[in-house]
Each structure stands twice: as structure tokens, then as C-alpha cells.
């Protein structure tokens, strides 16, 4: 196995080439979680699009084969940046890496879902209200006793859910720097990976996710950029990233993204709660799962700080 907190991934070396086998985790799964059939479908649809994705070969729904759903795809030789400060990169490459990530996200959102055959990939309208309901159910199922900080964030989001909705676009669903693979030593995106949560919905959900995880503590298990001097590190500000995104897809670069970011952090907290449940049940797939699952409150506390900030307030990063 070569990784995967949510869905295990395995490298397979064969005479015909190198492949990746992506599987569901073992054990009882939360409803609608770990939907590899949806991931396989969107990867297949994007094969001829401008969005770089690994080529997929087959999906197996027959649980009698290995006990879980799985699919096979090509191995992509690339590097993943798990350290958001990009310390391993040359300073001149750091801002271009973030710009390429934003450009890749914009490319996803510009996809013609009708041409891709994905018009029925998600329900239209009320995206945030529906997603908040769904992830609340996931969170309550995983952690019936609740987590105080997560409960407070959930209540705050329920009071501030935006009534308006934008035209639905294809969403990656878990837009983060470490869900991109780059051609080694460059700022070229080789593949956009981990489409398990993809759907149709509000485009700012993806942008909010990409920016929100940057607000996490730098020393966290999912390291963010809180407290990092971005100027000194050669990293773009949140405002610069948002401006690049809106320049690519249209829209107001001064759009208030606080709800979108806080919602993304609540969803991460719900996923962490689900991971904790699987770790305690003995079905989590990495040794880090228990530690990560026990830190759902970190996401919630950051989300509450985002909501409490004034619109446009950088808080954890210089402009």
C-alpha cells in the first residue's frame, strides 16, 4: 500500500506497466461515503478534457473479488506537495505552484458538464443547504456524543447559510494542494487526483476549501500556513489566489468567502469524525488515522475564527 487515509491505494507493477489500485476501506462504511464508482465515472469523463487526470481502466463492484469496491488506473509519476510552505521547492517556483493549482481548479469549473455526460452527476440548487444537511448526518452518525467546537460551528453555519445559489459546475469536492500531482521540479500539474467527493454544485465550495485548509496550524497533521510569513516564504496571499481564480472564471474578487471556508472546515471535521470511528472500529487504513480522527476540533476552531473575522480580514496571512 502506498497511501490513502480515506480510500487505500496500492501500486501494482506488471509487465504491461505500472498501475494504481484504489479500493474502499474494509468494514462498515458511512452512507454515501467512499463512492469509488462516482470517482471512476468522473475520471473517465475527464479523460478528453483539459483537466489532467490519470487514465482509468476498470471498475469492479463485485465484492466477491477482494471484498470491497475498487478500480484500476495508470500510475502517474509526479510529486505531491504536502508541506504548504513548499520548503523543498526553489523559492522562485513557490508562487507558480499555487498559481498552477488555482488554474487547475478554474479548469475543472469551466468544464462543460453536458459535453462530459455529467449533467446528472449532482442535484441542482441549494448546494450549501443540502451539503450541510448531508455532512451533519455523517457527523452525527460518526460521533453521536458530539464535539463541542464542531457543534458550535455547525450552529453558526446553520444560521448563516447563504440563500442564493450559483449555476452548478463540476466540483472536485476536496480541493487541496496535496490532491494535485506536479511534474517533478516544475509548476506543471501532472494530475488532479482524489475525486471521491466530486459532484455538481456551487463553485465557491471548491475555492473555499482550497483557501480554508491554508488557515490550519503549520504544525498540524494536515499542515496549513497559519502564522507563516507568506511574503518571506515567497507564497501568494489568499487574496491573490482568489483574484487569480475570479480572473479565470469571472466574478468579483472581493466576494466574501467566509461561509465557504468555514463550511469546508466543518466538512473536514465531519470527515475526521468518520475517520475516528473507523480507527476505533479497527478498519482505518493508516496508523495516523486515530491521531487525525481525534483532531476534528482543530478544523472547527479554525472555522469559527474564519466566521468571526471581518470580511476581507486576512487574520492568519498577510495581504
Tens-place pLDDT, residues 170-223? 999 999 999 999 999 999 999 999 999 999 999 999 999 999 999 999 988 889
- What pLDDT digit, counting tens, does each position of 80-101 carry? 999 999 999 999 999 999 999 9
**Does residue 150 contact residue 266 with C-beta atoms inside 8 Å?**
yes
- What pLDDT digit, counting tens, does each position of 234-268 carry? 999 999 999 999 999 999 999 999 999 999 999 99
**Does residue 103 contact residue 191 with C-beta atoms inside 8 Å?**
no
More confident residue, 23 or 35: 23
Contacts for 138 with CB less than 8 Å, ≥ 6 apart: 30, 31, 33, 270, 271, 273, 274
**How large is the average pLDDT for residues 24-48?**
78
**Does residue 166 contact residue 198 with C-beta atoms inside 8 Å?**
no
Return the pLDDT at 281: 74
Cα separation, 215 vs 257, in Å, equals 13
Considering the chain, what percentage of its residues have pLDDT values greater than 90? 74
Cα separation, 273 vs 269, in Å, equals 6
Q: How far are the Cα atoms of 85, 139, 153, 166 from residue 295, in angstroms, in the given order? A: 22, 14, 15, 32
The full set of domains in the chain, from first to last, is 78-308 (3.90.1200.10)
Considering the chain, what percentage of its residues have pLDDT values greater than 70? 91
Q: How far are the Cα atoms of 137, 267, 300 from residue 152, in angstroms, in the given order? A: 16, 14, 8
- Determine if the pTM surpasses 0.75: yes
Amino acid at each position: 500500500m502506498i497511501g490513502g487515509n480515506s480510500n487505500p491505494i496500492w501500486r501494482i507493477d506488471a509487465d504491461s506497466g505500472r498501475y494504481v489500485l484504489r479500493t474502499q476501506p474494509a468494514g462498515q462504511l458511512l452512507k454515501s461515503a467512499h463512492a469509488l464508482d462516482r470517482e471512476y465515472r468522473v475520471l473517465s469523463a475527464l479523460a478528453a478534457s483539459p483537466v489532467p487526470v490519470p487514465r482509468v481502466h476498470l471498475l469492479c463492484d463485485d465484492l466477491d473479488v477482494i471484498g470491497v469496491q475498487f478500480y484500476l488506473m495508470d500510475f502517474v509519476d509526479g510529486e505531491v506537495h504536502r508541506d504548504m510552505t513548499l520548503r523543498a521547492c526553489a523559492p522562485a517556483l513557490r508562487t507558480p505552484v499555487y498559481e498552477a493549482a488555482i488554474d487547475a481548479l478554474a479548469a475543472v469549473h469551466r468544464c462543460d458538464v453536458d459535453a462530459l455526460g455529467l449533467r446528472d452527476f449532482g442535484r441542482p440548487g441549494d448546494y450549501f443547504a443540502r451539503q450541510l444537511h448531508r455532512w451533519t448526518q455523517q457527523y452525527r452518525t460518526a460521533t453521536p456524543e458530539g464535539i463541542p467546537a464542531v457543534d458550535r460551528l455547525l450552529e453558526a453555519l446553520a444560521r448563516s447559510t447563504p440563500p442564493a445559489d450559483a449555476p452548478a459546475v463540476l466540483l472536485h469536492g476536496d480541493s487541496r494542494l496535496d490532491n494535485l500531482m506536479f511534474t517533478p521540479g516544475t509548476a506543471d500539474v501532472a494530475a488532479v487526483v482524489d475525486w471521491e467527493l466530486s459532484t455538481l454544485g456551487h463553485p465557491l465550495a471548491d475555492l473555499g476549501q482550497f483557501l480554508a485548509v491554508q488557515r490550519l496550524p503549520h504544525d498540524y497533521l494536515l499542515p496549513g500556513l497559519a502564522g507563516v510569513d507568506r511574503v518571506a516564504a515567497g507564497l501568494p496571499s489568499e487574496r491573490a489566489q482568489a483574484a487569480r481564480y475570479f480572473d479565470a472564471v469571472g466574478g468579483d474578487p472581493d466576494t466574501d468567502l467566509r461561509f465557504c471556508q468555514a463550511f469546508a472546515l466543518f466538512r473536514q471535521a465531519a470527515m475526521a469524525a468518520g475517520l475516528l470511528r473507523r480507527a476505533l472500529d479497527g478498519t482505518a487504513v493508516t496508523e495516523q488515522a486515530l491521531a487525525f480522527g481525534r483532531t476534528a476540533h482543530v478544523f472547527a476552531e479554525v472555522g469559527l475564527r474564519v466566521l468571526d473575522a471581518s470580511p476581507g480580514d486576512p487574520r492568519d496571512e498577510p495581504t
